[in-house]
Chain A
Amino acid sequence: MALVEIRDVDKSFQRDSERIEVFAGLSLDIDEESYTALMGPSGSGKSTLLNLIAGLDRPTRGTVRVAGAEVSSMSPGQLASWRASHIGFVFQQLNLLPVLTAYQNVELPLLLTRLSRKERDARIRIALGVVGLDDRLFHYPRQLSGGQEQRVAIARAIVADPTLVLLDEPTGQLDAKSSQDVLALLRRLNEEFGKTIIIVTHDARAADSARTVLHLEKGTLIEREGAAR
Chain B
Amino acid sequence: MKFLHLVVANLGRHKRRTFLTTASVALALFLFASLRTVVTTLRAAAQFGSARRLVSTNATGIVFPLPLSYANKLRTVPGVGAVSWANWFGGKYGDNKRFFAQFAVDPESYLDMYPEISLPEDQKQAFFRERSAAIIGRRLVDVFGWRLGQDVTIQGTIFPGDWTFTVRGIYTPTDKSINDDMLLFRHDYFEERLGRPGVAGWYVVRIDDANQAGQIAKAIDDQFRNSNAATKTGTEQAFNASFATMWGNVSLLMGTIGMAVVFAILLVTANAMMMSARERTREVAVLKTIGYSDRTLFGLVMLEAGLIALTGALVGLGGAKLLYRATNFNAGGFLPGFDVTLDTLLLGAGVALVLMLASGLVPAVQAARLPVVQALRRVE
Contacts and interface: CB of A to CB of B under 8 A. Distances in A.
A77 B6 contact: no
A121 to B, nearest CB: 12
Q: Which of A89, A91, A99, A100 has the most CB of B within 10 A?
A: A99
B376 interface: yes
B283 A97 contact: yes
Contacts, number: 70
B299 to A, nearest CB: 12
Nearest to B12: A99
Contact of B290 (A76, A84, A94, A100): A84
B372 A80 contact: no
B76 to A, nearest CB: 83
Nearest to B377: A47
Contact of B373 (A57, A89, A104): A57
B294 interface: yes
A83 interface: yes
A80 B291 contact: yes
B4 to A, nearest CB: 10
A89 B286 CA distance: 9
Given A104-B5, A104-B9, A97 B286 contact: yes
B210 interface: no
B12 A111 contact: no
Nearest to A86: B291
A156 B286 CA distance: 11
Interface in A72-111: 76-77, 80-85, 87, 89, 91-92, 94-95, 97-100, 104, 108-109, 111
Contacts of A84: 290-292
Nearest to A120: B2
B289 interface: yes
B97 interface: no
Contact of A109 (B2, B290, B379): B290
A70 B2 CA distance: 31
B290 A91 contact: no
A111 B289 contact: no
A227 interface: no
B353 interface: no
A76 B10 CA distance: 25
B142 interface: no
Interface in A46-60: 51, 54, 56-57
Nearest to B291: A84
Interface residues of B, number: 26
Q: Which of A82, A95, A112 has the most CB of B within 10 A?
A: A112
Interface in A89-143: 89, 91-92, 94-95, 97-100, 104, 108-109, 111-112, 117
B288 interface: yes
A175 B287 CA distance: 27
Nearest to A169: B380
B290 A89 contact: yes
Contact of A92 (B288, B291, B373, B380): B380
A108 to B, nearest CB: 6
B1 to A, nearest CB: 10
Given A51-B373, A94-B282, A156 B12 contact: no
Contacts of B292: 80, 84, 108, 112
Interface in B169-214: none
B164 interface: no
A83 B290 contact: yes
B379 A54 contact: no
Contact of A100 (B6, B372, B373): B6
A104 B118 CA distance: 64
A99 B13 CA distance: 6
A81 to B, nearest CB: 7
B3 interface: yes
Contacts of A108: 6, 287, 290, 292
A83 B291 contact: yes
Given A56-B372, A57-B373, A99-B12, A81 B293 contact: yes
A54 B5 CA distance: 27
B295 interface: yes
B49 to A, nearest CB: 59
Contacts of A57: 372-373
Interface in B274-303: 282-283, 286-296
B91 to A, nearest CB: 62
A99 B9 contact: yes
Given A81-B293, A112-B296, 20 more contacts: A51-B373, A57-B372, A80-B291, A83-B291, A84-B292, A92-B380, A97-B9, A97-B283, A97-B286, A98-B13, A99-B12, A99-B13, A108-B290, A108-B292, A111-B2, A111-B3, A111-B6, A112-B290, A112-B292, A156-B290
19 contacts: A56-B373, A57-B373, A77-B294, A80-B288, A81-B291, A84-B292, A89-B290, A92-B380, A94-B286, A97-B9, A98-B13, A99-B13, A104-B9, A108-B287, A109-B290, A111-B6, A112-B290, A112-B291, A112-B292
